[in-house]
Amino acid sequence: MRSESERPNVFAGPHVDRLKFAQADAATVARWIADGSARMVPVWRSRCPVIREPSPGACLLPVGSGPFAGVGTDDLILLGEYRGVPVFTTEIEADAPPALDGGAEFADLRLAASLLPHDEAGLVAYARAMISFRHRHRFCGSCGAPNRPERNGRVMTCTRTACATEFYPRVDPAVIVLVTRGDRVLLGRQAGWPDGRYSTIAGFVEPGESLEDAVRREVLEETGVETGALSYQSSQPWPFPRSLMLGFRAEARTSEVKLGDAELEDARWFGRDELAAGAMLPFTQSIAYRLIEDWYDAGAARPLAAEAEARGWMRRRSA
C-alpha cells in the first residue's frame, strides 16, 4: 500500500504509455483515424474539454469527428496509449471554441483539475503542455526558419536544410519550498493574489545552480531568511505552461523576515492554529498545498482537510 507521503501529486503518474506508439508511421495513424479507435484531447486557448454532469470528467473525442473533421495529421501530436487506445492532442486556433456535444465545455485546467479523476487530470495536463511546446516552437530558435512537426508531432525540426535543428519538449525546473522553524512555517503572498492568500516560496532554477542552491537562494532573495538542512519531498508537473515543480522542506536558520526582490508583497510565519482558523491557502491541487498539508498533518490532532475553516483557494471559491 502506498503511504501518505508516496501518493502522487495532481497531474503526476504514469497514466499514459508514452512509448508504445512512439514509432507509429503515417499509415498506422491513418488506420487508427479511419477505424475510429484514435481519440484526442483538443486544446483551445489553453483550455481543454471537460464534462461536469453526471460526474466530472475529461472528454476524449474521436479524431476527425464533428467540428474536428478538418484536422490534419500534421496538426496532431501523439500523446501515447491511454486506456488501451492511441490518444492525440491538437490546438484549435479559432476566435470561439467549437461546440461540443453532451454538455461538454472548454475549461481552464486550474479550475477543473481538482474535479477530474487523477488519471484524467494528468492526461489533460500532458496535452496542454505539448500544445505549449508546439505553439512556442513554430520557428527555429537557431536561424529563424519555420519548423515542421515530425515523429507524430513530438519533435519540431527546422525546415532549412543547412540548419535542420531538432527541438524536443522541455520543462522548466522550479523549486518550491516549505520553510519551517519549530512549529511555524514561512509563507508569502504576491500583490496580485486574492486578499489574504499565502503560499510557499518558489522560483525557477537558474543556469549553473543545483536544486539545493536554488532553494537557499530563492528563500533568502525573497524573504531574507537563511536556511540550513533541507530535504526533497515530491515533484509535480505544472503545465502553466511547462514547469516541473520540485518540492522541498527546509529548516530556517534565522527568523527575521526582510523582503528583498519585490516578488512578494508580504511574508510571515504561521502556526498550525492560524492555518486551521482560516488562512487562505494555495490551490488544493497544487504541490504548495500538499507541502503545507503534509507538515500540518504530521503535528496536528486532526488533518488539515478536516478543519472547516482551512480551505485552499480554489476550494473556497467553489464553496
Half-sphere exposure of 263 (CA within 13 A, CB side): 20
SS3 label, residue 57: strand
Compute the Cα dihedral for 98, 101, 103, 109 and give only its sign. negative
- pLDDT tens, position by position, for the chain (319 residues)? 233 456 789 999 999 999 989 889 999 999 999 899 999 999 999 899 999 888 889 989 999 877 787 788 889 999 999 999 999 999 988 888 888 887 889 999 888 888 899 999 999 999 999 999 999 999 999 999 999 999 999 999 999 999 999 999 999 999 999 999 999 999 999 999 988 899 999 999 999 999 999 999 999 999 999 999 999 999 999 988 889 999 999 999 999 999 988 889 999 999 999 999 888 899 888 999 999 999 999 999 999 988 856 655 444 433 3
Give pLDDT, residue 201: 98
Answer yes or no: are the C-beta atoms of 101 and 49 closer than 8 Å: no
Q: In what order do the strands lie in the sheet with 85-91?
A: 61-62, 39-43, 85-91, 77-82
- Find all residues with CB under 8 Å of 55, minimum gap 6, and list them: none
User: 3-state class of 197 per DSSP?
Assistant: strand
User: What is the rounded distance in angstroms from the CA atom of residue 182 to the CA atom of residue 153?
Assistant: 50
First to last CA, the chain: 32
Closest CA to 149 of 162, 132, 166: 166
Domain boundaries, the chain: 8-130, 136-170, 172-318
Tell me what pLDDT residue 6 has. 67
Identical topology for domains 8-130 and 172-318: yes
Closest to 185 (Cα-Cα) out of 249, 245, 258? 249
What residues have CB less than 8 Å from 255, skipping those under 6 apart? 181, 225, 269
Confirm or reject CATH 3.40.50 for domain 8-130, answering yes or no. no
d(CA 154, CA 142): 19
CB 224 within 8 A of CB 257: yes
Helices (H), the chain: 26-35, 109-112, 118-135, 211-223, 272-276, 287-298, 313-318
Question: What is the fold of 172-318?
Answer: Nucleoside Triphosphate Pyrophosphohydrolase (3.90.79)
Sole residue written with cell 520553510: 179
